[in-house]
Amino acid sequence: MNIKRQSLAFAIASALPMSQLALAQDAQRIEEITVVGVRDSHTVIVDDTLVATPDTAQLLRKMPGANVNKNGELTGIAQYRGMFGDRIRVAVDGAQINGAGPNAMDAPLHYAPVAILESLTINRGIVPVSKGQETLGGYVEAKTYAGDFGAGSDFEFGGRAYTGGQTVNGGTVLSGFFSVANDTHLFRGFAMQEQGDDLEFPGGEIRPSEYERERFDLGYSFQSGPHSFTFDFARNNTKDAGTASLPMDILSIDSDLFRSRYVYDADDRVFTVELSASDNEHWMTNYHLRRPPQDNMMGAGTMRYRRNWAVSENYGFAVNLKQLTDDGSWLFGIDGHFAEHRSIITNPNAAAFLIANFHDVNRDIIGAFVEREVSLNARTGLEAGIRVNQVEMGSLPVSANLNPMNMMMGMPVMMNNMAGMLSTQFNNSDLDQSDTNVDAFARLSYETDGDATWYVGAARKTRSPSYQERYLWIPLEATGGLADGKTYTGNPRLKPEVAHEIELGLDYENARYGIYPRAFYKRVNDYIQGTPSSNMTAVNFAQMMANMGMGLPNPLEFSNVDARFYGMDVDAHYALNDSVTLRAILNIVRAERRDINDNLYRVSPDNLLVALDYRGQGWSASIEGVNYADQNRIAVTNLEQATEGYSLINVMARTEIAEGIEVRVGAENLLDEEYLDHLAAYNRAYNPDIAGRSRMPGLGRNLYARVMWNF
Mean pLDDT of 485-489: 97
For 332-377, what is each residue's pLDDT tens digit?
Answer: 999 999 999 999 999 999 999 999 999 999 999 999 999 999 999 9
Parent domain of 373: 3-146+155-710
Partners of 650 in the β-ladder: 624
Best CA proximity match to 93, nearest among 184, 177, 270, 219: 219
What pLDDT score does 412 carry? Answer: 86
Q: Express as a percent the part of the chain with pLDDT over 90.
A: 88
Per-residue pLDDT at 218 exceeds 60: yes
Question: Average pLDDT, whole number, for the chain?
Answer: 93
Read off φ and ψ for residue 66, nearest 5 degrees. -110, 160
Angle at 416 between CA 411 and CA 419, to 5 degrees: 125
pLDDT of residue 299: 57
What's the average model confidence in pLDDT over 167-186?
97
pLDDT band (50, 70, 90) for residue 298: low
pLDDT at 410: 80
Query: What per-residue confidence (pLDDT) applies to 34?
Result: 52
Mean pLDDT of 555-576: 98
Sign of the Cα torsion 592, 596, 597, 599 reads: negative
Average pLDDT over residues 153-172: 96
Can you give the pLDDT at residue 53? 76
Residue 301: the pLDDT is 78
Confidence grade of residue 622 (pLDDT, cut at 50, 70, 90): very high
Query: For 93-116, what is the mean pLDDT?
Result: 95
> The domain spanning residue 522 has which CATH number?
2.40.170.20
Per-residue model confidence (pLDDT) at position 31: 36
| Residue 255, pLDDT score | 98
Can you give the pLDDT at residue 24?
Answer: 37
pLDDT: which is higher, 632 or 406: 632
pLDDT of 547: 87
Confidence of residue 662 (pLDDT cuts 50, 70, 90): very high
d(CA 140, CA 570): 18
Cα separation, 31 vs 13, in Å, equals: 17
How far is 483 from 77, CA to CA, in rounded Å? 11
Give CA separation, 454 vs 69, 189, 376, 457, in Å.
32, 45, 15, 10
Distances from the Cα of 173 to the Cαs of 161, 222, 705, in angstroms?
Answer: 11, 31, 11
- The pLDDT, as a whole number, for residue 38 is 73
For residues 545-551, average pLDDT = 87
Are 116 and 217 within 8 A, CB to CB?
yes
Report the predicted TM-score, pTM, of the whole model to 2 decimal places: 0.93
pLDDT above 60 (res 14)? no
Mean pLDDT of 642-667: 95
- Does 206 score more than 90 pLDDT? yes
> Mean per-residue pLDDT for 513-537?
97
Q: How many distinct structural domains can be found in the chain?
A: 1
